[in-house]
Structure 1
């Protein structure tokens, strides 16, 4: 060292700090890279992605290589700094040179390169993988020896080097990825993807047409009345029952009825022969499960039944698809917009039969969804009684005024969301 000039030592020190910055940035870039995008690029035969993926397949060796190189460089930088300080300022300068070198390494070899690599991991990792691959071949015996020692220490602690966190995402994590995709996905596409992920959290009761709103035809009625109901039906599939909805015969497709009419064979007997068997759905079935069941059974609608076999409502394939793509323009069921009407004073008149989940989704409100399915049911559960009109309550921080009660049901409610103060009751 005595034969090397001080100026040359400064040059070597600068090079060592630069190399230290390279190792620090490479480590952050390699570990920060998006694994799913990496797999995508790898499938497209991206050379840099393939190199990075190969290095990340054995993270213990990669980290060992980077740390060996970084520590060696930093140690030599410390030695050279001490020699320079000794020459310029004597023994007293050695102490202060250590403090100065720490600050320089922290700023220029740690924080700055790691921040840059975290912001642009691909731009750092892909070119860096060329050098790291070469260094790994050159220093492989040394890396293996170091890893053997560290793995032995981990084994003593009861930790296997083969234990590795799996890079798989839960549905909640996938939902976060979709919501944070920003400009990468259109808002409509985001809503559809989130809708698919939400299917497992929604049951058939949440979207079914409730029993009291089911429309069907009593086959025990007079034939002329049945004909009139069929011709005036707003649905392509019509339920048929005897006397009451609990005695369901099946359903008939209006297309089949029209075919019988065209052949002049349209009688009650021929209509009954055209009846299709009804499909039953246990309550509590998640929508993602029911969607697959509809697909396997080649069915498009089903009646939801409780544990006693009593009919609770009706669910169609279109209802499930609307949870993904939004309302169809051809739907005959009332939309949330029809059930929630804004008033001049800023309040909202809400139909008591409106589902809590749909109202929350449409209006971005926060009524509880783990209990009753409708606004009427929510208020009845809260009061534990059938109220009179003009009664006011507060549920989940929202002031509600009961406007109309009829047939033991709350028909209309006024909601004042502007007064929401976040108080949970």
Structure 2
């Protein structure tokens, strides 16, 4: 029989005693009391809804361009003998100002010769008239019967002399016109963009003298998306809207083959405010939309309107001029929407849904009709009622029917959006 050694008895006894003690502790341990945590009531900030009228503002951007840009071309040949001090890049000029003068001596000589030729043809015409009168007298003196023929009265010779006078007058007018063209004048009030000639240079007909543009007003081409056009009244034009009916009387100066004496004033559209940052400061100019372009951009699917800014170079209160090429931001005044709700953008969640608090202080989620979005604001047309409480606090895990409490006393009646 194998005998257990004493050194193994002690560990076995310790394990047995520990197991018995642990079992007793488990059996006699007090039962834990289960407690249900109180419900967490979220605190929300609300604002009462008030229907109001709101003017829509359409944002756009564009680049300032001149209303007219031209190239100044020499109409006669000659050497440049005089240059205006304003004939330089950036120089201003008024309509009719002399910008360049060409050597006019050859053209003055031509005018003198044409005047002499005209005088000679007029003398020949008077002599021929005297011969006609003499032929009539001779016919009567010889007692010829009947009326004299045109050849007897020298009518063909008289017509030839009259035609020679008319031709001489036309040559004189042409010579005077070419002499006048040696003084190159400004076609309108404007500014020099680039000059191509200077004093002493010889130019030929058709030579480029300078590039210039008008300064009475500038234009800004502004893109508008389709959803923006629905909220603004644009000065659209239609075929035949400003013309008389076919077959009707045509007023003088407005014939179908004639140009009117002066271009009609453009239709006045909605006001526009353009702004630009110049020298670290923001400046604004006001104008109007004057026309809508006739096509839609095939790449962006946007329409373009043209805004007009009058007198952009006039000094007003230290404001710098609105130069051609300036990139500007534009705000176009749109329509006035009545009976709508303007709420903070933070209150509108995905799917155009908002949270409301009902009369029992419980959450209610509702889908609304979004008409327009401005910076920080959303305009709601349908889905809300006067006096309802709109939740401004973000509720990423909100559930309809959850009881809430207000962040301000009074149930949100006097709270305002932050």
Q: Same fold (TM over 0.5)?
A: no
Q: What's the TM-score once normalised by structure 2's chain length?
A: 0.24
| Structure with the larger strand share | 2
Query: Using CA pairs below 8 Å that are at least 6 residues apart, which structure has the higher relative contact order?
Result: 2
